[in-house]
């Protein structure tokens, strides 16, 4: 993969970096379509993608959002030893197929973005998802899987909200409600995109919010004293029971539209509960499939559930490029208590 092929003369004031990366300093006084320069509030965005049409598309959407283009380049520019020009506030990367050298460069970019405070959006394919996910553990990058243009625009809006500090610190319920609203907006955007391009339906399954209320681990003694004792924690349910519940939930899609029952948070909790009881590890790709929603939607839910303390990322000790997802102890306790509350009635499903 070579250096960036696009080399244009933008006129006075436009710059080309020594690495072959297009670097543009724009201002409002230099013709239509130009945005504010570095001294104002316009956020700068860097774009890395091998496909020239995709770079142009991402650039067009970024400019429409009021961003200043800092650089656009091929993915190979990430391999440069010195890292190239400054990243800017937002970094958009497209790597549908990625090799070892590029994975190492992506890991360096992740660390560099975390240190500089840049916001990272990386798009990839389902086949490369596990490797890409394993590389991005420092910058809280947003990962998209084979995204449509609408998906990219929504991701750009989410990054703008974070980078611009325009969203107050939200409660957990507010965060999940906002995620649900985002998925609904995504549905609308996908349908509009499908109509405008006369393509098939690309609707995104609606996500449903959840609430996590862990019961107290302590109980007061019957004699009314102030001394507290820790309540016994029930064991995890029989994994055969959980797998049967999962199969029953999936069976509904044979008779009804799957979007009617999309509940990725619960489906992922069930899958991880069974996996924990079976002592097996679950990759991020496998968990996305278990969620029953498109991978990009599933990844957003995984991120929110990690933030909520329900899921955790566990690196592969034998391959640092891979990572797995597991339940946290508090989530495992909650699932165990839930199935214990169901009692013997649940056991009859096995």
> pLDDT per residue over 297-319, tens digit each?
999 999 999 999 999 999 988 87
Tokens of 31: 């013709």
CA distances from 321 to 189, 229, 303 (A): 33, 43, 18
Angle between the 149-163 and 52-64 helix axes, to the nearest 10 degrees? 50
Residue 22 shares a structural domain with residue 160: yes
- Higher model confidence: residue 289 or residue 76? 289
CATH number at residue 106: 3.40.50.2300
Residue 192 lies inside a defined structural domain of this protein: no
Domain-ending residue, one of 128, 147, 167: 167
Instruction: State whether 19 and 162 are in the same domain.
Output: yes
What is the structure's pLDDT at 260? 85
Read off the pLDDT of residues 36-63 as tens digits, 9 standing for 90 and up: 444 336 789 999 999 999 999 999 999 9
Could you tell me whether strands 311-315 and 90-94 are parallel, antiparallel, or unpaired per DSSP bridges? unpaired
- β-strands 90-94, 44-48 pairing: parallel
Are residues 269 and 341 both part of a single domain? Answer: yes
Looking at the predicted structure, is the pLDDT value of residue 35 above 90? no
Residue 115 pLDDT more than 70?
Answer: yes
Range of the domain at 311: 218-347
Q: What is the pLDDT of residue 84?
A: 60
Tell whether pTM > 0.75: no
Residue 106 near residue 139 (C-beta atoms within 8 A):
no
Q: Are residues 20 and 150 in the same domain?
A: yes
User: Tell me: the pLDDT tens digits for 175-205?
Assistant: 555 556 666 566 666 566 566 655 444 444 4
- Number of structural domains (the chain) is 2
Within a domain: 206: no
Taking all residues of the chain, what is their mean pLDDT, rounded to a whole number? 77
Residues 281 and 149 in one domain: no
Same domain? 146 vs 223: no
- Domain assignment present for residue 177? The answer is no
Give CA–CA dist 291/126, Å, rounded: 14
**What's residue 183's pLDDT?**
63
The pLDDT tens digits of the residues spanning 79-97 come to 775 556 678 899 999 999 9
Is the domain of 19 the same as that of 82?
yes
């Amino acid at each position: 993969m070579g250096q960036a092929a696009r080399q244009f003369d933008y006129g006075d004031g436009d710059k080309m970096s020594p690495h072959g990366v297009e670097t543009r300093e724009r201002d409002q006084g230099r013709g239509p379509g130009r945005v504010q320069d570095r001294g104002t509030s316009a956020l700068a965005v860097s774009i890395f993608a091998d496909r020239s049409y995709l770079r142009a598309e991402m650039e067009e959407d970024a400019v429409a959002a009021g961003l200043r283009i800092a650089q656009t380049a091929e993915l190979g520019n990430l391999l440069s030893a010195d890292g190239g020009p400054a990243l800017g506030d937002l970094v958009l990367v497209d790597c549908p197929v990625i090799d070892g050298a590029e994975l190492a460069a992506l890991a360096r970019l992740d660390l560099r973005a975390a240190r500089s405070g840049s916001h990272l959006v990386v798009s990839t394919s389902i086949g490369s998802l596990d490797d890409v996910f394993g590389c991005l553990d420092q910058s809280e990058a947003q990962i998209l899987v084979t995204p449509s243009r609408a998906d990219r625009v929504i991701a750009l809006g989410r990054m703008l909200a974070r980078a611009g500090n325009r969203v107050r610190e939200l409660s957990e319920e507010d965060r999940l409600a906002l995620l649900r609203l985002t998925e609904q907006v995504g549905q609308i955007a996908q349908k509009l995109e499908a109509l405008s391009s006369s393509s098939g339906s690309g609707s995104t399954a609606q996500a449903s919010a959840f609430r996590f209320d862990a019961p107290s681990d302590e109980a007061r003694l019957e004699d009314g004293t102030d001394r507290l004792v820790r309540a016994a924690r029930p064991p995890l349910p029989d994994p055969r029971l959980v797998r049967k519940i999962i199969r029953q939930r999936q069976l509904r899609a044979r008779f009804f539209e799957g979007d009617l029952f999309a509940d990725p948070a619960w489906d992922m909790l069930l899958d991880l509960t069974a996996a924990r009881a079976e002592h097996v590890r679950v990759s991020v790709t496998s968990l996305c499939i278990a969620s029953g929603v498109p991978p990009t939607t599933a990844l957003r839910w995984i991120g929110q559930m990690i933030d909520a303390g329900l899921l955790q990322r566990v690196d592969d000790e034998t391959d640092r490029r891979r990572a797995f997802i597991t339940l946290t102890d508090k989530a495992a306790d909650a699932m165990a208590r839930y199935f214990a509350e169901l009692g013997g009635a649940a056991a009859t499903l096995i």
